[in-house]
Amino acid sequence: MAYSSEDAKGNWAVIVTKFDRDDPTAGLELVKRPIPSPKAGEALVRILYRPINPSDIFALQGQYAGFQPQLPAVPGLEGMGVIEEVGASVRAVLARFTQGMKQGQRVVGAPWPSAEGEGTWQQYVVVKVDNLFPVRSEVSNEDASQFFVNPCTVVGMVHELQPPAGSWLLQNAANSVLGQEIITYAKHLGIKTINVVRQNEYINELKQKGADVVLNSNEVDIVQEVRKTTGGKMAWGALNPIGGPKSKAFPSSVRTHGTVEVYSLIGEEVLVPMSDLVWRDIHVKGFWLNVWLDSLPSHVREKKLKETMDMMAEKVLAPPPPSAKYPLVDVKKAVSDAQRKSGREGKVLLEG
């Protein structure tokens, strides 16, 4: 099927026709759809870049709560683009962004309308203006495309735990893109990090990024190492995306009354020693960006999104450079490439 950026009249879109747990590329097709028109309160955004995140892969496998639309639907949980057109009477709504929020403005969605089956893996998306956020000039298009899923989650999880400056924060899968952003954001706030990985090759790299301590879960006893590092105080809180037998080290490594935030589905179940729950009042809770953002009063939500963009502009929250860029037409290759790669290599982006 032909696909060209010169084909200005169409909206080339990746659609998913069926979920497939074993092969997330199995239901993907490229189709040409009409360019949608924005109504009052909406803007038409031409998307420039979208990263392929683990959550997109979960979505194509039918395992993501935020993407359960009627199929076929357009996947893609995040990206960045430029405003192409604003719906009638939107001008007044845009005033809240002060000057410059108009045709040509670079924007990110928070969130994009992916839950409704109109995700970012298409050239044009209509978005409610209230869900658009301007990109600061210091942030590149590639970095901005990764604003929503990881940086907002980093800010959200730290906001929930409230670790004071000088305390220790423990995290697992620290070499992931999100884990690297936790390291730099925590450092900026004066919080020290204990970072768990499963291969020694990540240790030096994470220390160069500002990690205070890096532990290989295949070589050391996490609880003992945390006790030693913190002088017996244990970590203020912990972030863990990985289930399975080693997950029980995290509740045992936080202080009495401390919290472990579980934020992914890798491994399916986490273990919590009953003695930590009963004797030490440890809390183990989930974190999902969508639920967290919906729980915030609008002025706090706006403040947190602004803080996230400011942290990106100041390079505190800076994703590693993309590891590859593919046009939409090569979406199957791009998804397979993203599945093979480890986080520290940087995201695979869909371009154009």
Residues that bind ligand NAP (CB under 6 A): 53-55, 149-150, 153, 173, 175-178, 198-199, 241-242, 263-264, 266, 287-289, 342-343
CB 339 within 8 A of CB 56: no
| 42 versus 181: smaller Cβ distance to ligand NAP | 181
Q: Which residues lie below 8 Å from residue 115, measured CB to CB, with a gap of 6+? A: 66, 67, 68, 69, 290
The least CB distance from residue 194 to ligand NAP, in Å, is: 15
Please, what is the minimum distance in Å from the beta carbon of residue 63 to ligand NAP?
10
Q: In this complex, which beta carbon is closest to ligand NAP, that of residue 30 or of residue 154?
A: 154
Number of helical (H) and strand (E) elements in the chain, helices listed first: 12, 15
Q: Which is nearer to ligand NAP, 141 or 323 (by Cβ)? A: 323
* Biggest CA-to-CA distance, the chain: 66
Residue closer to ligand NAP (CB basis): 6 or 269: 269
Q: Which is nearer to ligand NAP, 24 or 343 (CB)?
A: 343
Alpha-carbon distance 28 to 67, whole Å?
15
Q: How far apart are CA 103 and CA 292, in angstroms?
A: 30
Residue type for position 347: K
Least distance from C-beta 305 to ligand NAP, angstroms?
Answer: 14
**Can you tell me the distance from the alpha carbon of 344 to that of 180, in angstroms, rounded to the nearest whole number?**
8
Q: Which residues of 176-205 are buried (b: 16+ CB within 10 A; e: fewer)?
A: bbbbbbbbbbbbeeebbbbbbbbeeebbee
> Smallest gap, in angstroms, from Cβ of residue 266 to ligand NAP?
5
φ, ψ (nearest 5 deg) of residue 226: -65, -40
Nearest approach, Cβ of residue 134 and ligand NAP (Å):
22
- Residue indicated by tokens 């924060």: 169
CA–CA distance, 144 with 2 (Å, rounded to integer): 29
- 247, 223 Cβ separation under 8 angstroms: no
- For the bound state, the minimum distance from the C-beta of residue 178 to ligand NAP, rounded and expressed in Å, comes to 3
Place of tokens 């020694």: 200
Q: Which is nearer to ligand NAP, 97 or 288 (CB)?
A: 288
**Residue sitting closest to ligand NAP (CB):** 343
Taking the complex as a whole, the smallest distance from the CB of residue 343 to ligand NAP amounts, in Å, to: 2
Which CB sits closer to ligand NAP, 83 or 182? 182
Least Å distance, CB 177 to ligand NAP, is 4
**Which is nearer to ligand NAP, 11 or 308 (by Cβ)?**
308
**What is the C-alpha to C-alpha distance for residues 188 and 28, in angstroms, rounded to an integer?**
41
Pick the closer one to ligand NAP by CB: 173 or 235: 173
Tell the smallest beta-carbon distance from residue 163 to ligand NAP (Å).
Answer: 18
Q: How many whole angstroms separate alpha carbon 60 and alpha carbon 253? A: 35
